[in-house]
């Protein structure tokens, strides 16, 4: 009986350690996820800005090409 109790106590101690380790891992992974989400937002913002710049440059090019044809 006493051996069984000691075995259960040993397993409890092991599982408690595993739980703490898993909680630390989960916190670290959550921090990484938060960082990735922030980076994704920054990338999406940059993509939006680049797309708008491309549209503006295309409009300027088209306006310039239209002017050249009018003069020719």
Measured between alpha carbons, how far is 53 from 50 in angstroms, rounded to an integer?
A: 5
The confidence score (pLDDT) of residue 28 equals: 98
pLDDT single digits (tens) 14-69: 999 999 999 999 999 999 999 999 999 999 999 999 999 999 999 999 999 987 76
pTM for the full model?
Answer: 0.66
Q: Give the pLDDT score at 66.
A: 83
Q: Which two tokens stand for residue 29?
A: 């992974």
């Amino acid at each position: 009986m006493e051996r069984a109790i000691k075995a259960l106590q040993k397993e409890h101690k092991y599982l408690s350690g595993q739980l703490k380790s898993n909680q630390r891992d989960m916190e670290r992974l959550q921090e990484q996820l938060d960082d990735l989400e922030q980076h994704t937002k920054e990338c999406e913002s940059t993509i939006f800005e680049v797309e708008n710049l491309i549209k503006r440059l295309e409009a300027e090019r088209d306006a310039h090409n239209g002017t050249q044809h009018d003069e020719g």
